[in-house]
Structure 1
Amino acid sequence: MTYSPSLRPVLAGLSLTLALGACQSDKKPEAAATADAATAPATLTDGTWRGVLSAQGQEIPFLFDVATAGGKPTVTLRNGEERLKLDEITSAGDSTTIRLGVFDAALVVRADGEDKLKGSWVKYDGKEPYRVPFAATKGEQQLFAVAAARKALSFDGTWKVTFKGDDGETYPAVGIFKQTGTDVTGTFLTTTGDYRYLAGQVDGANLKVSTFDGSHGFLFTAHNGPKEPIDITKEYAPNTLFGDFYSGKSGHETWTAVRDPTAKLPDANALTGMKPGQKKLDFKFPNIFEGGSISPSDPKYRGKVVVIQILGSWCPNCMDETNFLAPWYEKNKSRGVEVIGLGYERTADQKLAAQKLLKMKQRMNIGYDLAVAGIADKEAAAKSLPQLAQVLAFPTTIFLDKKGEVRKIHTGFSGPGTGKYYEAEMADFNQTVDKLLAE
């Protein structure tokens, strides 16, 4: 999914975006933290921590675990069922830097008393580092406070959702929540992807869920419809919700929802297409390895089914798709299918963009080819692929048949946090490839 500052999927930019406040200079963490990574920083002690990003007058909480083996610490972010392992951890002086996976971002922290941390979440992929203040306390394992005397309403189920930006623009979504007592997990699906793994609590008639994946810090709040009479001492399931969506330092939208088990989005395979008269893509982009280039007309791809992935190393939805595509490619490449990843990065520096994509390739064990295609902007991406009518989302997946003709364009990606929608996505992908291979 692509998130702009207003996080409207139909606009350019990426979310779905986070960043943290600082506790040291603007230098990149690898330059600022030079201590041996095998030495466990004293600030990180084993156990579960509750971290909080402070932005827009809100707290965006998340949980993480610290475990040390052989003197080397590992941090694991927890978002619902998701576990994101972070093992690039260094220290210098009283400061500890935790690199956030493939993203050009870090948590930069130092001790703030016993079993407490303070610092910043910093994103380095813009012209200036993007910072949001961060604090953490060891031992706390609940994201949001719940008043014990209040009866939790049921938000469980499927919801038809409309998000509205501060400029009045709207877009549709489907909310799916699973509630056990006061604990809730779920996500929102949109036409360009999903908001990934969300988790939180219900406090009476109020819902709060959040997530932090290293690239995004999201908080969704909601309450039941104000015109509905309720008695929170009794079982009650609201049918209308009113809420707010906060992202990082400035992203804000409101949202409304009605309970609807049949809610669905427009067909992701019909949102974009080729320009009239166009059947093939014609591009030649530099390989991430210096000196090479990639084109669908290269001998390697002729006569094969080719899947083209429009992605960015900054994009969590792209990471979800890549986590599927990388092992899928290894299992299926012998069948006569290839994958090309076209990387659109948050820098115009081709060498730096290649470095970001190479890191992604190495950390995610990507065996297919990656190219530096341009900057992370949907309009720019569409211009770089002029045969396309438009590019609405990162990721976008394009299927070419054995003649090199475009047969399907799939907008967005419903990741594993969407449950049955993810399973349907995988089934549709495999059916499409099987059909093209059989021709």
Structure 2
Amino acid sequence: MTKILKGLVTGLLLFLLLSCSREPATEKTVDHSATKKWHVTIQLPEIALPVLMHLEPDGSGAWFENAVEHVQVPDVRATDQGWILRFPAFNNTITLNRTQQGFEGQLTLVKRGYEQTMPLIAIPDKGYRFLPDPEPQADFTGRWEVGFIEKDGTVGQAVGEFDQQGSRVSGTFLTPTGDYRFLAGDAHGDTLLLSTFDGAHAFVFKAVMLEDGSLKGDFWSGTKWHQPWTAERNYEAQLPDAYTLTYLKEGYERLEFQFPDLSGQPVSLLDDKYQGKVVLVSLAGSWCPNCADEMEFLSGVYQQYRDQGLEIICLLYEHFEDFELAAAQGVALEEKHDIDFDILVAGTSDKTKAAETLPMLNQVLAFPTLIFIDRGGNVRGIHTGFAGPGTGRYFAEFKEKFTAELERLLAEDMPIAGP
């Protein structure tokens, strides 16, 4: 069989398996009270997103699996027809209604100014993600120099890191503004398939390895986003330094703001609480998984270093302008990550509008963005984006550099005021 014919056969098989949201009906009725593991298929407009769900029959717990990541569902509620799974920190919901074969339902993602809804089905887990018996003919392991092609033809720089064990593939993409977290999937023929559902995002990546060893692929996110991408294997691929992308405009040395906390009380860096302290200011949103990763990290950092003079402020930029709604999301974020530092409602998630709330910055390029302020109130560094646990060694490298910078600032004495 020629390579072209093999490619056509592989493509047809993948089309049949991935373009349809429904599994063939089975004659046997599922015993919901005895089934914990479910193979969930979320139907995006052009492709299906598979993910493994663990649901305790009594509703006492639920989580979704993406490679080594288990995404816990904080709020599981019983209904007459089945279950409602809520992710309060992201404000997203899954409904599950019982059927003879499992569940049917819907994923609802709340975005800025609208909602995305996607139908889904769940059947008892069959032990695979995309394909029951994948047969890989290509090895996708390694580091890849990736270009995500924008609608205007410009190319967004990224780095792909993949690990293939047999037909199973895991990995992530890193960009200058963050990472795509934990991805899991299969290699079949010369095709790579990866997906994730983390409570906030519904991502699918597909790529074909060409004869020259490069990749040509597509990326789908929710109901609105499709983007082509290409990649070449490059073990030296690097991203721009995250400490150089966001900076103070000329003539500024300090960050100045006043925003309400979750109870509506105004908070400023000029408050006594922050005087003589090293302060980390994070620009974040409850809707942002990278921000959630950073909040989890900073919560532990605060507990470790607060007695040495560290304070942290989270500036919250939400999808809606209503203060009460935004504050409620802040409370959910606070509870999820056991946050003991101040969370302030600063504005909306539109980056242009967010930049207007902090006019001393050259831009707000990414959520999260972390600003380092010394004991004298001077901005000493700004880190754009966050390479979280899904990035492996990149996360370890970030933590090492972050800790060194933080401890250096904490070791400095309070500047003596001039005459």
* Post-superposition offset of 1:45: 5.1
Identity level (%): 38
- SS where residue 129 of structure 1 aligns? strand
- Looking at structure 1, the residues matched to 127 and 148 of structure 2 have their Cα atoms a distance apart, in angstroms, of 30
Distance change >3 Å, CA 414–CA 390, structure 1 → 2: same
* Post-superposition offset of 1:111: 1.1
Q: Does 1:161 align with 2:135?
A: no
- Looking at structure 2, the residues matched to 101 and 75 of structure 1 have their Cα atoms a distance apart, in angstroms, of 14
User: What is the one-letter code of the residue matched to 2:275?
Assistant: R
With normalisation by structure 2, the TM-score equals 0.88
Using CA pairs below 8 Å that are at least 6 residues apart, which structure has the higher relative contact order? Answer: 1
- Looking at structure 2, the residues matched to 206 and 124 of structure 1 have their Cα atoms a distance apart, in angstroms, of 32
* Post-superposition offset of 1:55: 1.3
- SS where residue 348 of structure 1 aligns? coil
- Looking at structure 2, the residues matched to 80 and 123 of structure 1 have their Cα atoms a distance apart, in angstroms, of 22
Aligned-CA RMSD value: 1.7
User: What is the one-letter code of the residue matched to 1:50?
Assistant: H
* Post-superposition offset of 1:172: 0.3
* Post-superposition offset of 1:130: 2.1
Aligned to 1:427: 400
User: What is the one-letter code of the residue matched to 2:222?
Assistant: G
Which deviations, in whole Å up to 9, do the C-alpha atoms of 1:3-55 show, x marking residues without a partner?
xxxxxxxxxxxxxxxxxx9xxxxxxxxxxxxxxxxxxxx96754211111111
Q: Does 1:179 align with 2:164?
A: yes
Which deviations, in whole Å up to 9, do the C-alpha atoms of 1:120-160 show, x marking residues without a partner?
00124544432111111112221111555x44311000001
With normalisation by structure 1, the TM-score equals 0.84
Unaligned runs of 5+ in 2: 1-20, 22-30, 413-419
Aligned to 2:324: 351
- Looking at structure 2, the residues matched to 45 and 378 of structure 1 have their Cα atoms a distance apart, in angstroms, of 47
Aligned to 1:197: 182
- Out of 94, 115, 118, the residue aligned to residue 107 of structure 1 is 94
Which deviations, in whole Å up to 9, do the C-alpha atoms of 1:61-113 show, x marking residues without a partner?
11111225xx4431111111111121411133214211125210110110121
- Looking at structure 2, the residues matched to 84 and 140 of structure 1 have their Cα atoms a distance apart, in angstroms, of 20
Aligned to 1:132: 118
Q: Does 1:224 align with 2:209?
A: yes
Distance change >3 Å, CA 97–CA 45, structure 1 → 2: farther
Are the aligned partners of 2:103 and 2:123 in contact in 1 as well (CA < 8 Å)?
yes
User: What is the one-letter code of the residue matched to 2:48?
Assistant: E
- Looking at structure 2, the residues matched to 163 and 43 of structure 1 have their Cα atoms a distance apart, in angstroms, of 42
Aligned to 2:377: 404
For residues 6-405 of structure 1, the aligned pairs below 5 Å read 46-68=35-57, 71-114=58-101, 116-145=102-131, 147=133, 150-225=135-210, 227-228=211-212, 239-290=213-264, 292-405=265-378
Runs of 4+ in 1 over 4 A off after TM superposition: 42-45
Which deviations, in whole Å up to 9, do the C-alpha atoms of 1:235-281 show, x marking residues without a partner?
xxxx3111000111120111111111111100000011001010001
Are the aligned partners of 1:85 and 1:101 in contact in 2 as well (CA < 8 Å)?
no
Aligned to 1:33: none
- SS where residue 56 of structure 2 aligns? strand
* Post-superposition offset of 1:438: 1.6
Unaligned runs of 5+ in 1: 1-20, 22-41, 229-238
Are the aligned partners of 1:153 and 1:202 in contact in 2 as well (CA < 8 Å)?
yes
Are the aligned partners of 1:43 and 1:110 in contact in 2 as well (CA < 8 Å)?
no
- SS where residue 72 of structure 2 aligns? strand
Distance change >3 Å, CA 281–CA 153, structure 1 → 2: same
- Looking at structure 2, the residues matched to 211 and 411 of structure 1 have their Cα atoms a distance apart, in angstroms, of 23
User: What is the one-letter code of the residue matched to 1:360?
Assistant: L
